[in-house]
Structure 1
Amino acid sequence: MVRVAGGYVSSRAVAEEVAQDTWVAVIEQLDRFEGRSSLKTWIFRILTNQAKTRGVRERRTTPFSSLVTDREAEPAFPPDTFFDESHRWSGHWAQPVPAWELPEDHLLSDELGHVIQRAVDTLPPAQRLVVALRDGQDLSAGEVCAMLELSEANQRVLLHRGRAKVRAAVSEYVERLGAKV
């Protein structure tokens, strides 16, 4: 059985696993054997199906050890990228792989940035200046008051009104976007 399985998979160890899996499948499905063929033929049919499935699965995956090319003697990733043999998850990534940014997320982010910038640009000059300094430059209220010679109350009113108009523009954009989806 191991020799037959070896014709479909890459190593003897995997062929032995396939043979074991075949015996488990035979025991689990023995009540489904109908006798239309010999028991040996039925068992070897299960074996070949298991081996083919395992062989296809193996071809779809690439072991990290095969990422080393003939030209280089170093692995494709530094060894500390993976847990070592003493760790419970030996061979697995030591750090999670960062999430991929989807192109549409990037486009929406850029588009939203443009919506916000247009909304800020349409604000009256005093509101635009306060919003730009507070939210764009991360200045404190005291710094903005001193820079523009405004009272704290006036700065708060200008900031509140400016943010409210920007928020309304963003809400309108989100509603239009929701209608398209």
Structure 2
Amino acid sequence: MDKALIGTDGHPDPELLIEQLLDEYGESVKKLAYTYVKDWALAEDVTQEVFLSVYHHLPRFRGESSYKTWIYKIAINKSKDAIKTRFLRPNKLLKKLKAYTDVYDLSAEARAMDAIGDVRLSQAVMRLPVKYREVIILYYYEELKLEEIQQLTKINLSTVKTRLRRAKAMLRELYEEGVTHG
């Protein structure tokens, strides 16, 4: 831990630590949240909730994992909570309209995903079911190890590997569809 973060009492200064964590992980958390909620404004709200939660629970952080793993776990849970909220579920017509316009118009969301990588690949990732999208994002975009993904998701390591393998196969199929049809 950075010595500049240590307060006069020998413990980390919460304000300084949260500021450092926000600087270090804020953008990644927002991108991770977006992969779940598929809305940048909502992803920003989730990110704020994540860091508020981190701030409030900082004294209880036991150091059994890295700050990154701990923060990502909170982000995943907050994102899933946001998805579950009834008023956030768009109706089928709205989904169809969004899918239609996304094909013809590169939105600000698509341009932001472009910063992560190829737009078509990003779109294919976003079309995966959550359980597969989650492992792809955590493994490739967030560069977490399989064991870290297991810790975050609380699923068996063999299940993580299976989901990653299936997700790659689904992505290959979606990506090839996009290349031949796009």
TM bracket, shorter-chain basis:
0.3 to 0.5
TM-score w.r.t. the length of structure 2 is 0.34
Q: Which has the higher contact order (CA 8 A, sep 6+)?
A: 2
Computing the radius of gyration from Cα coordinates, the structure with the larger value is: 1
TM-score w.r.t. the length of structure 1 is 0.34
